[in-house]
């Protein structure tokens, strides 16, 4: 519901305007083009990514340099569900996972991954793009 429509209904509820006036105001509101409060085209209306895509093309040195291609598509819904499940891990399991990540040189704290931060995390993934282009291998990670 738009802010203007909410204000009209609020005024009606408070008795500042009657039902006819509210109806006229709402009708006028519907005739108006999208107000400045609405998101601008190309600003927030960027479509949400549905999939995380990983594409790898690599030469296999044991097979006379023949190419191996890998193409993986992971639904964002699966990522969301996985992060939510991670948030349910008991604290001692999370601490052990954090320790294992630290040992691998990944300073990531699983305790910071909470369902309330999840949408922000997924939102940021929309802009993710990794391109690695080497002689023997090409890797592309992106959202679509």
Partner 1 sequence: MPPLFLRIHVLNHVGREIRLWIPLFLLWLLMLPFAVVILPVLLITAVVLDIDPFPALASALRILSGLRGSHVEVDSPDASVFVHVY
Q: Residue numbers of the site for partner 1 (CB under 8 A)? A: 50-51, 60, 63, 66-75, 77-82, 84-85, 88-90
Nearest-approach distance from CB 14 to partner 1, in angstroms: 41
b/e per residue, 103-124, with b = 16+ CB within 10 A?
eeeeeeebeebeeeebeeebee
CB burial readout 33-46, b (16+ within 10 A) else e = eeeeeeeeeeeeee
Closer CB to partner 1, 28 or 74, in the complex: 74
CB of 92 to partner 1, least distance (A): 8
Q: Which is nearer to partner 1, 39 or 82 (CB)?
A: 82
In the complex with partner 1, the residue whose CB is nearer, 60 or 127, is 60
Whole-angstrom distance, CA of residue 22 vs CA of residue 11 = 8
Minimum CB separation of residue 43 from partner 1 in Å reads: 28
């Amino acid at each position: 519901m738009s802010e203007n429509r909410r204000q009209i209904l609020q005024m009606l509820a408070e008795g500042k305007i009657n039902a006819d006036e509210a109806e006229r105001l709402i009708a006028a509101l519907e005739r108006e083009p999208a107000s400045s409060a609405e998101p601008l085209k190309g600003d927030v209306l960027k479509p949400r990514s549905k999939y995380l895509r990983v594409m790898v093309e690599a030469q296999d040195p044991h097979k006379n340099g023949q190419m191996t291609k890998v193409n993986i598509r992971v639904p964002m819904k699966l990522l969301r569900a996985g992060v939510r499940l991670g948030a349910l891990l008991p604290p001692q399991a999370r601490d052990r996972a954090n320790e294992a990540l630290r040992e691998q040189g990944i300073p990531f704290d699983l305790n910071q991954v909470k369902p309330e931060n999840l949408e922000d995390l997924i939102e940021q993934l929309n802009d993710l793009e990794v391109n690695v282009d080497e002689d023997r291998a090409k890797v592309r990670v992106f959202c679509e």
